[in-house]
Amino acid sequence: MSILPARRPSPHPADGARPRRAPVGAPARRAAATGAALLLLAGTGPAPAAADGAGADTMTIAVSQQVDSFNPFTAQLAVTTNILRHVYDSLVTVDPESNEPAPALAEEWESSDDGLTWTFHLRDDVAFTDGEPLTADDVVWTFTTIMENEAAAIASGNYVAGFESVTAEDDHTVVVRLDEPQATMTSLDVPIVPRHVWEPVLEEEGDAFAEYSNEVFPLVGSGPFVLTEHERGRHITLEANPDHWRGAPGLDRVVLRYYSEKDAAVEALRSGEVSFVYELTDAQATSLEGTDDIAVNIAEGKRFQAFTINPGAETQDGEAFGDGHPALSDLTLRQAIVMAIDNEEIVDKAHNGQAVAAGGYIPPRYEDFHWSPEGAEATLAFDPGAANAMLDEAGYERGEDGVRVSPEGDRLSLRLHAHVDRPDNVQAALVMVERLADIGIEVENNTVDPGVLSDALHEGEYDLIFTGWTVNPDPDYVFSIHTCGALPVEPGTMQGDAYFCDEEYDELYEAQLAEYDRGARVELVHELQEVLYTEAVVNVLAYPNILEAYRTDHVTGLQVQPDPGGNIWGQDGYWAWWSAEPAAPGEAAASSGPSTGVLWAVGGGAALLVLVGALVLVVRRATAGDRE
């Protein structure tokens, strides 16, 4: 192969030339092309060993998702946004116990009477890891850059969409002026970066800023950990920041090791090579339960699993497109479909009981925003008899084959699209086919690749389709995708996932966004969920639990979120890693370091035996003629 990346400035700088990137890793890595992997590995120095020897007080996490970029302005994947949360502080974080906004860089904040001006008062004891103090200037520069530079808005542009200006009143006071009131101001998940590091980068990179990967280790941040190393596809290393204003983390180091196969990662947890695995399947969690030195953590889900019914896909101008079944625009039919499905059965059969049967749109882990239809509100509770009666009354007569026909004469044969890569969807689809047959609806089950499903959704060529969202502590976004403004401008550009558009809903949505009183906002959010529930376009089935496991002989004291019953990986904040302590100082990661000489000898000895055997054979053959 003679394909070499252009590493010097290209001789054709005019068009299409790639500007130079910051160098990544040691120059020796460039020698990889020769395939001399051993030599090249030797050339990349590993992380500096801790004072008391390698592997001291380390927590090793098995990850599979690759890094897109460590540039906080562009990083989008879960693994990188999670890591960056530990590297850069944000203004406000999320309380580990209550899931409510909690002080971080900002000690306190207030809004003006008209709701258009927010003032954040920063702590005065925060420094970046290079010793420079973190001031209002850094905050202003971070927000302004996202507002003014499109390439810098890729990750967090939605947070600043309603900002008019961000200014510094003094070194520790930041003032944000808004176009419209927005209640989400206390949940701005935006990493604050050091201006003195990033301003030169932005100038130098110019148009190529989106491709800047920020792999200049150790990264200068203000968070509880410092990112010190990244070997793509192998591992990522974070070292503790002993000077963090919240207090030094209990661990010396967090290492994320790559395991592309979750089953292999589970085996690595058994052998002690890793301390923590997350996103387990039910079967994996069950197999780990009761194992010595391993704790399985079952947490309340952040996700909801739902299916949506095509109410008739339309653009914002009301132009219909797609080929959804015409009868589905009838509310009665949609409600009957929901009443025919038993969410408890979905939990048992599709999630093996590792989920909570759904009520409203927001999972119960967010206690105050969660709404569940109770008593008289539960108009769509599982009741196939009532569903059949409703359809009979509305003129959906059963044909000879038991399948109903709409009053307009359309046979009720519906397509269902499920993600082939989500086992719970595949199982839930099978349950739904059976239950809908009970009320005279025939379902054609399409279990397809996520890409196929996404195309069907955005072209409006579906009847019933699976969806799901991870809900953040502030629920604004998952509601915004069902406003009329989220409808596509032209087919294929929809922001949401359901072609839902309802005037009453939109009014409630605007009201909750402008409501700064949490109690009043909670009420509005409940009403929003009631509208969604009654309209039966977006129908939530279950909230799957989060399953993870860790070695109790490596780490202890991991703060879950929410507490109790919360998760460890993927928190809103850095509580788990920051609070973790080594289980037995100095011994925690003994097993993840190079093993004892015995094991080396066994591994090497096997190879040696093969070599010696081969040699003997060759010698024997060479002299065979003489021995005759």
Q: How far is CA 268 from CA 262, 288, 570, in A?
A: 10, 12, 21
Reported as half-sphere exposure (CB side, CA atoms, 13 A), residue 412 has a value of 30
Please report how close the Cβ of residue 256 comes to other proteins at its closest, in angstroms.
Answer: 9
Q: Token digits for 242?
A: 């002993």
- Report strand pairing: 58-63 vs 253-258: parallel
Based on the shown chain and the rule CB under 8 A, indicate whether residue 47 belongs to the binding site for other proteins.
yes
Based on the shown chain and the rule CB under 8 A, indicate whether residue 38 belongs to the binding site for other proteins.
yes
Based on the shown chain and the rule CB under 8 A, indicate whether residue 604 belongs to the binding site for other proteins.
yes
Based on the shown chain and the rule CB under 8 A, indicate whether residue 459 belongs to the binding site for other proteins.
no
Based on the shown chain and the rule CB under 8 A, indicate whether residue 281 belongs to the binding site for other proteins.
no
66 vs 167 by CB, closer to other proteins: 66
Q: How far is Cα 234 from Cα 327, in angstroms, rounded to an integer? A: 53
14 vs 376 by CB, closer to other proteins: 14
Q: How far is Cα 52 from Cα 306, in angstroms, rounded to an integer? A: 51
Helix 195-205 vs helix 136-148: crossing angle, to nearest 10: 30
Based on the shown chain and the rule CB under 8 A, indicate whether residue 477 belongs to the binding site for other proteins.
yes
Options 22, 320, 602, 616; binder of other proteins; rule CB under 8 A: 602
Options 257, 415, 526, 551; binder of other proteins; rule CB under 8 A: 257
326 vs 586 by CB, closer to other proteins: 586
161 vs 520 by CB, closer to other proteins: 161
Options 89, 138, 205, 273; binder of other proteins; rule CB under 8 A: 273
Which residues within the stretch 435-454 sit at the binding site for other proteins (CB under 8 A)? 449-452, 454
Question: What single-letter DSSP state applies at residue 567?
Answer: B
**Considering only 44-52, 304-312, 380-388, 408-416, which stretch makes contact with other proteins by CB under 8 A?**
44-52
Q: How far is Cα 128 from Cα 44, in angstroms, rounded to an integer? A: 27
Please report how close the Cβ of residue 481 comes to other proteins at its closest, in angstroms.
Answer: 9
Question: What SS3 class is residue 250?
Answer: coil
- Cα Rg of the chain (Å, integer): 28
Place of tokens 């059963």: 398
83 vs 134 by CB, closer to other proteins: 83
Positive or negative, the CA dihedral 148, 173, 573, 479 is negative
Residues 390 and 440 sit within 8 Å (Cβ to Cβ): no
Q: Token digits for 159?
A: 């947070």
Based on the shown chain and the rule CB under 8 A, indicate whether residue 605 belongs to the binding site for other proteins.
no
Options 136, 140, 219, 265; binder of other proteins; rule CB under 8 A: 265
Based on the shown chain and the rule CB under 8 A, indicate whether residue 79 belongs to the binding site for other proteins.
no
Question: What SS3 class is residue 139?
Answer: helix
Q: In residues, how long is the chain?
A: 628
Please report how close the Cβ of residue 461 comes to other proteins at its closest, in angstroms.
Answer: 12
Please report how close the Cβ of residue 453 comes to other proteins at its closest, in angstroms.
Answer: 8
Which residues within the stretch 554-593 sit at the binding site for other proteins (CB under 8 A)? 591-593
Options 175, 217, 245, 258; binder of other proteins; rule CB under 8 A: 258
Query: How far from the centroid of its chain's Cα atoms is residue 508's Cα?
Result: 27
Q: Token digits for 102?
A: 């909690």
Alpha-helical segments (H) within 498-591: 503-514, 518-535, 575-579
Query: How far from the centroid of its chain's Cα atoms is residue 290's Cα?
Result: 29
Please report how close the Cβ of residue 265 comes to other proteins at its closest, in angstroms.
Answer: 8
Q: How far is Cα 217 from Cα 504, in angstroms, rounded to an integer? A: 51
Options 69, 529, 545, 571; binder of other proteins; rule CB under 8 A: 69
* Pick from 496, 567, 543: nearest CA to 305: 543
Which residues within the stretch 115-174 sit at the binding site for other proteins (CB under 8 A)? 150-151, 153-154, 157-158, 161
Strand (E) or helix (H) holding 616 = helix 597-622
Count the residues of the shown chain that bind other proteins, applying the rule CB under 8 A: 99
Based on the shown chain and the rule CB under 8 A, indicate whether residue 68 belongs to the binding site for other proteins.
yes
Based on the shown chain and the rule CB under 8 A, indicate whether residue 615 belongs to the binding site for other proteins.
no
Based on the shown chain and the rule CB under 8 A, indicate whether residue 32 belongs to the binding site for other proteins.
yes
Options 112, 165, 167, 493; binder of other proteins; rule CB under 8 A: 493
Task: Show the binding pattern over residues 200-239: x = contacts other proteins (CB under 8 A), - = does not.
Answer: ----------xx-x-----------------xxxxx-x--
Options 9, 13, 22, 42; binder of other proteins; rule CB under 8 A: 42
- Report strand pairing: 303-309 vs 464-470: antiparallel
Options 112, 165, 167, 495; binder of other proteins; rule CB under 8 A: 495
